[in-house]
Structure 1
């Protein structure tokens, strides 16, 4: 039996884990986690991952339609491509900034909701919130109305982003976490070619007298209402229930899942491994104490700069292509083809997700982003635009699923959602200001200037993760927390 380890400074392990008489209980907090981590990758386990991933699909659709409908917003006369001043409120940058302001407020101030009320409930209601807000946004005719309702929808998206990642990390066994996030993001990012293709078909048109960009938003929101079907098939996180002392409920859910797994594999499950000490009591201040302080600083630096690289390309590529002299229709066609690569990044990453350290994958792919981005700014032929756009998309999405896995591993269950919400919120704030900066750079320094700015940001990502990031591959969530 593994000996109990001391808890991190300022945190207390659960009493039942510290008590040798109870370590092998089926219902103490450590045993719940040990039982989860020994589950094999059967259909029952993958079904939970896929159900969460389908919810992520609608979230990504909503998050990334910004860039694809931007030419339509300009074409309809509601917004302009650039702004007269750095923080102008009538340009595409203000629309992007409104979304990320909402994301910032949602993640920094509402991340505690999933820790307090549970992963399952917040997963459902946050999605319904931003679907309703976007539906109202569709019928706005002024920049102020458009941006106001985009901000409100961003609140819900921000909460949803944190909840899905937390939910996924706690349902997936430790040997499957990297691959689970890879599949989740592959399914989620399949929304990119969908929204790109719909934008290509609809944005230049006005079906039934309604601007094409409005149809793109409505189609996503209408489909997302299927969340009620997803919700009834998702159990609450046993780890979260155990952290709240609701051990009987956690045991009941896990016992049911174990029975399904045993039925599918036709043999009993192996005995759980040794229980790890579990941190049950924690507060926001514990993020600034060892061992979490170094991780928090690293993630803050990472998130400020990674957003510039990811959304600087994803949200601006159609506009950047138009700025290079490519027509709106051709730009949307190119971005549709590039968008087809979005789910391929996580699928390729599936084969490396649990074979290499997360930090090493992030650093390497950030380097690929730097090189491809600088070359992209110098080409104009269709073949090179598409080829380099695909490379940038693959690298960005591999970074995305890897860091979503990584950041969830670095904090204990008791504060996972609020801690990740706090550090992640700074990427939202970064996106608010970087969208205005990119618009300013695009106006005065062109596409090359934009990609030099992005390259500098990705170099900062490489330094932060490479020097400060801990190793997590193959470890239980509980052992990483000590």
Structure 2
């Protein structure tokens, strides 16, 4: 039965709850069970992220169509050739770099929910405009603009989810978010298989694939109406009464769903009369204990993007380079892409049982080993099998590090700090487009995977040797 007092309603409860300190809010969140109300919030955020992943991954699958239409070439004579497919990939990651480096701090200033909605609308509109362009420079420009919105959204979602869920389910929550998001990959692969080789209604197939991704704007406001602002962020900003009302509403839903009272939270270490909230300062990330974490994550992100996107963004093109036709390469790529959600499914089973850093290291090892084997194969069956194994390693790596890096910084500067370290992966991925194209032109597929293997070794060293442990620890505990 519900624990609401006689004559009380959820609305009256929201009006009557007293304010609480940031530490009290955090303690109350961390003792919540993994109830349906919590998972519903995670699902809504993940749904918005689905379009972000669709936008992020269609780069690989529209590539053959862009080449087929004559707008781009697979490789270029010079390293920085802007009519080559590498330029399109680079434009995507240039936008992502600008978004993560320059604008993610807005989520620390204006709130997680506001920036979640704004960035979703931003990249949906820019993607729609990009689909209508008729020259490589114009497509690159609008791809860059769309990438800015995606970059903001990537960090905002990670920050949002880490603050909404209790500590005992952070790993599973991030795995579930990725499970939902990664279903976008087989979707875009299937649409590319259907549309890219054709021109329905005289409209190039790749344009249809891109336009579908702009549909995210249609659900932005629906999500906004049903997802509250982060109570941790509100409390950190000194808006304690709002934080208490948001959390009281969630607690009431959980008690109504479970039919029992929530346990009392552990005693907080600070009182409601604690010092005024501190504003995020960029210089803090270069002070102990954050300096070591920042440097570790900068190195990690520099190399993980080469390994992750070096394969994910080039799957059809790498298959074509192995002698597979465009139509068949897209079919094989769809089979590989269909395995994407299975990585997060595995993650939901193990993410809160093993250390996050261990998951990252083992996933990077899998990419290195299976990637090296992929480079030596010519059999379509083995290419697909190894492609699936590389993909599982990549998605588990993504689950692990997206949860991991947001845990290492405090609420007041979480989006700012994560945006900064994550921007290194965007910068790396931007140049990886040229690096992969260069390696493919001069050394073939084996050269591409030699590059990827070297990057994964650096990833394992950075996190394995210098990353702190985070599993089942409160965000406050980790960030001090």
Instruction: Report TM bin, short chain.
Output: over 0.9
Is the 1:374–1:451 contact (alpha carbons within 8 Å) kept by the matching residues of 2? yes
Is the 2:64–2:316 contact (alpha carbons within 8 Å) kept by the matching residues of 1? yes
71, 79, 83: which one aligns with 1:86: 79
Give unpaired runs (5+ residues) of structure 1: 1-24
Structure 1 segment 35-46 matched on structure 2, within 5 A: 35-46=28-39
Is the 1:26–1:32 contact (alpha carbons within 8 Å) kept by the matching residues of 2? no
C-alpha distance after superposition, 1:359-380 (max 9, x if no partner): 0111111111111000001111
98, 102, 107: which one aligns with 1:105: 98
C-alpha distance after superposition, 1:394-420 (max 9, x if no partner): 010001011000000000000000000
CA shift for structure 1 position 276: 4.6
Alpha-carbon distance in structure 2 between the residues aligned to 1:294 and 1:276: 26
Give unpaired runs (5+ residues) of structure 2: 1-17
Residues 193 and 289 of structure 1: CA distance in aligned 2, closer, same or farther (over 3 Å): same
Which residue is 1:472 aligned to?
470
C-alpha distance after superposition, 1:269-326 (max 9, x if no partner): 0000232559942411110111111100000000000000110000011001101110
377, 380, 393: which one aligns with 1:379: 377
Structure 1 segment 432-471 matched on structure 2, within 5 A: 432-471=430-469
209, 213, 223: which one aligns with 1:220: 213
Residues 1:231 and 2:224 are matched in the alignment: yes
* Secondary structure class of the residue paired with 1:159: helix
Is the 2:19–2:241 contact (alpha carbons within 8 Å) kept by the matching residues of 1? no
* Secondary structure class of the residue paired with 1:175: helix
Which residue is 1:357 aligned to?
355
* Secondary structure class of the residue paired with 2:134: coil
CA shift for structure 1 position 111: 1.2
CA shift for structure 1 position 28: 1.1
Residues 1:166 and 2:166 are matched in the alignment: no
Which residue is 1:419 aligned to?
417
C-alpha distance after superposition, 1:428-469 (max 9, x if no partner): 000111110110110000000000000000000000000100
Residues 259 and 65 of structure 1: CA distance in aligned 2, closer, same or farther (over 3 Å): same
Structure 1 segment 280-359 matched on structure 2, within 5 A: 280-281=277-278, 282-359=280-357
Alpha-carbon distance in structure 2 between the residues aligned to 1:177 and 1:71: 38
* Secondary structure class of the residue paired with 1:464: helix
CA shift for structure 1 position 186: 0.4
C-alpha distance after superposition, 1:163-205 (max 9, x if no partner): 0000000001100100000000000000000000000000000
Is the 1:178–1:405 contact (alpha carbons within 8 Å) kept by the matching residues of 2? yes
Which residue is 2:257 aligned to?
264
Which residue is 2:399 aligned to?
401
Which residue is 1:133 aligned to?
126
Alpha-carbon distance in structure 2 between the residues aligned to 1:275 and 1:98: 47
Aligned residues: CA RMSD: 1.1
Which residue is 1:180 aligned to?
173
Structure 2 length-normalised TM: 0.94
112, 115, 135: which one aligns with 1:142: 135
Which shows bigger deviation, 338-347 or 275-284?
Answer: 275-284
Alpha-carbon distance in structure 2 between the residues aligned to 1:351 and 1:284: 36
C-alpha distance after superposition, 1:120-150 (max 9, x if no partner): 0100010111111111111111110000000
